[in-house]
């Protein structure tokens, strides 16, 4: 096995205009060309817009399986799940009024007017599309997020919109759960691994995954996990360790070194993955490597092993997560 870094959870930028999309494609080609031989990635899809940018990577993988270490995932992030409808009988306004909430009716309707027609979720998760990917993600639940004034997050010069531009509109938690459960069932039906986002709802996330996935063979990755150590122990006590993974990022998990070290110490080595959670087209290859190196160093120190051993273990875990 050739030593290489692992980015188990990364992204491409979300852009809706043609010029912006062309720029992302160009940046993406440059980024992947520069790291093809020494980084294995699982690139998440979070919405219909970034999926259109990721589809060419699937073709690249099909043409050259030994080429750039790219594994494409298909998902609906909770921040974008309002863009998908489960009831085809609803009009655009009916759908958004059903899945969005805000005490300010005027603000809600102003935001709805800017939103695109919703995407039918069942059609989006077609057999043809799902059969081409190696993972379902990014999916999950988020009780904190508020929608931006334009209706959904898009990239702005390589970064997300500032939090000051967020509205008071939120996605109904019941809608998030419906979308999340639908995607988990797709993963279960296909035997695909899942990469999960969970913010301020760790208990609900665990309960849903236990109900739907415990009796399956689906591998689970809890990305940039921010739950308590008690929640870690809950997951480890209920799911087979060979199917359970926690991907650790520098900018979220190691922002506080002490808490990051405690998380790593609580995890069996066989359950640890590394990630950047960044947009690979907008963050330099050097910075991405530095992020992954920092997590490897933290793993090495937390478990008292060499950096080489940490790197080899993470790569083995990654291959097991994706069943490669």
Instruction: Determine the pLDDT at residue 42.
Output: 95
For the whole model, what pTM was predicted?
Answer: 0.93
| Alpha-carbon span 90 to 96, nearest angstrom | 9
User: Would the CA dihedral through 214, 219, 222, 227 be positive or negative?
Assistant: positive
- 223 assigned binding-site residue: yes
- pLDDT for residue 126: 97
At 198-244, the pLDDT tens digits run 999 999 999 999 999 999 999 999 999 999 999 999 999 999 999 99
- Ligand-binding annotation for 77, yes or no, is no
Q: What is the model's pLDDT at position 58?
A: 80
Which pLDDT does position 14 carry in this prediction?
87
What pLDDT shows up at residue 69?
82
CA-CA distances (angstroms) from residue 69 to 43, 49, 111, 316? 10, 22, 39, 14
Is 197 labelled as part of a ligand binding site? yes
Say whether 289 sits in a helix, a strand or coil: helix
| Residue ranges in the chain whose pLDDT is less than 70 | 1-2, 18-20, 23, 27, 29-37, 60-68, 156-164
pLDDT for 155: 73
Whole-angstrom distance, CA of residue 270 vs CA of residue 246: 10
Please, what CATH class does the domain formed by 5-321 belong to? alpha beta
Q: Is 174 exposed, middle or buried (0-12, 13-18, 19+ CB in 10 A)?
A: exposed
Burial label, 101 (beta-carbon count in 10 A; 0-12, 13-18, 19+): middle
Residue ranges covered by each domain of the chain: 5-321
Place of tokens 């950047």: 276
- Distance from chain centroid for Cα 49: 15
Residue with tokens 């992030």: 77
Instruction: Check the annotation: does 82 bind a ligand.
Output: no
């Amino acid at each position: 096995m050739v030593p290489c870094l692992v980015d188990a959870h990364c992204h491409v930028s979300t852009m809706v205009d043609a010029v912006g999309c062309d720029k992302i494609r160009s940046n993406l080609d440059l980024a992947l060309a520069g790291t093809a031989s020494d980084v294995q990635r699982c690139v998440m899809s979070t919405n219909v817009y970034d999926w259109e940018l990721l589809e060419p990577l699937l073709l690249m993988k099909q043409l050259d399986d030994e080429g750039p270490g790219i594994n494409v995932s298909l998902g609906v992030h909770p921040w974008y799940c309002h863009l998908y409808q489960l009831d085809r009988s609803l009009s655009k306004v009916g759908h958004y009024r059903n899945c969005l909430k805000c005490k300010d009716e005027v603000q809600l309707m102003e935001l709805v007017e800017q939103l695109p027609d919703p995407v039918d979720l069942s059609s989006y998760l077609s057999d043809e599309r799902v059969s081409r990917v190696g993972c379902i993600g990014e999916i999950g639940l988020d009780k904190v997020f508020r929608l931006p004034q334009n209706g959904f997050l898009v990239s702005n010069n390589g970064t997300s919109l500032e939090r000051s531009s967020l509205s008071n509109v939120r996605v109904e938690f019941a809608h998030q759960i419906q979308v999340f459960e639908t995607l988990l069932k797709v993963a279960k039906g296909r035997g695909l691994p899942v990469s999960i986002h969970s913010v301020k709802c760790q208990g609900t996330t665990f309960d849903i995954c236990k109900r739907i996935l415990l009796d399956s063979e689906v591998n689970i990755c809890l990305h940039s996990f921010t739950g308590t150590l008690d929640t870690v122990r809950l997951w480890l006590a209920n799911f087979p360790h060979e199917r359970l993974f926690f991907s650790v990022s520098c900018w979220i998990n190691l922002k506080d070194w002490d808490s990051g070290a405690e998380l790593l110490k609580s995890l069996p080595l066989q359950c640890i993955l590394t990630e950047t959670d960044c947009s690979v087209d907008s963050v330099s290859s050097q910075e991405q490597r530095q992020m992954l190196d920092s997590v490897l160093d933290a793993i090495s120190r937390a478990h008292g092993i060499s950096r080489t051993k940490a790197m080899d273990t993470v790569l083995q875990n990654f291959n097991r997560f994706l069943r490669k």
